[in-house]
A = this chain, B = another copy of it.
Amino acid sequence: MFKNEYGSKLLADAVESLASLPGIGRRSALRLALHLLGEPAPNVEKFASSIVDFRNKIHFCPKCNMISDDGSCVFCDDERRDSGTVCVVESYADVLSIENTGQYRGLYHVLGGILSPIDGIGPGDLTIKELSERVAAGGINEVVLALSTSMEGETTSFYIARQLAPYGVKLTAIARGVGFGDDLEYTDSMTLGRSIVNRQPFKS
């Protein structure tokens, strides 16, 4: 009797859209759709337009690939940042995380992903060539690799290191170790092992 499992094509389409988001299953999507049904129409239209506007109106910095509202880059165009240091990250979210620490004053380079043969992502899909060109253009003393420690992240770091080798730029990677507040007992042995090998002078 039901045309579909939701009894409504409009509802089924809305559920399908919401369930296409990562981490949202069909049950949650149904709950979200019915929640939006209870909201005033202008709110729902604003909800939808803010997402479409973000997707369609956002700019990308031609230098570092960071998102930008108007084409100017909050990092590259800021003279107070240290333009001699470039931190290589996978995504925009990583930039926000690093900025939140307040510990970094250099520029960024957003790869837009990491090398993943299984997902068909090769060097041409990332901004690695653009990074090489930035370094080749001069003025950069240090490139900080801040990619994940997954197999794909390590592969990407090694690939970038090889691409940048001809330019003799200083290459560093963010420190790995036992997190602040973490129990040694529950730290994986890879992390704990590295944190012992890379032990630092104790500052008291």
Contacts and interface: CB of A to CB of B under 8 A. Distances in A.
Interface of A: 1-3, 5-11, 13-14, 16-18, 20-24, 28, 30-37, 39, 41, 43-58, 66-69, 74, 78, 80-81, 91-93, 95-96, 99-100
A78 to B, nearest CB: 6
Given A67-B11, A93-B31, A51 B48 contact: yes
A100 to B, nearest CB: 8
A23 B51 CA distance: 18
Contacts of A37: 54-55, 58, 67, 92
Given A13-B50, A37-B54, A69 B8 contact: yes
B54 A48 contact: no
Tell me the number of copies of this protein: 2
A1 B74 contact: yes
Contact of A55 (B36, B57, B66, B91): B36
Given A5-B96, A44-B55, 13 more contacts: A1-B80, A2-B74, A2-B99, A7-B67, A7-B95, A10-B53, A10-B67, A17-B47, A30-B96, A33-B51, A44-B52, A48-B49, A48-B51
A61 to B, nearest CB: 11
Nearest to A53: B10
A101 to B, nearest CB: 13
B99 A51 contact: no
Contacts of A28: 23
B30 A55 contact: no
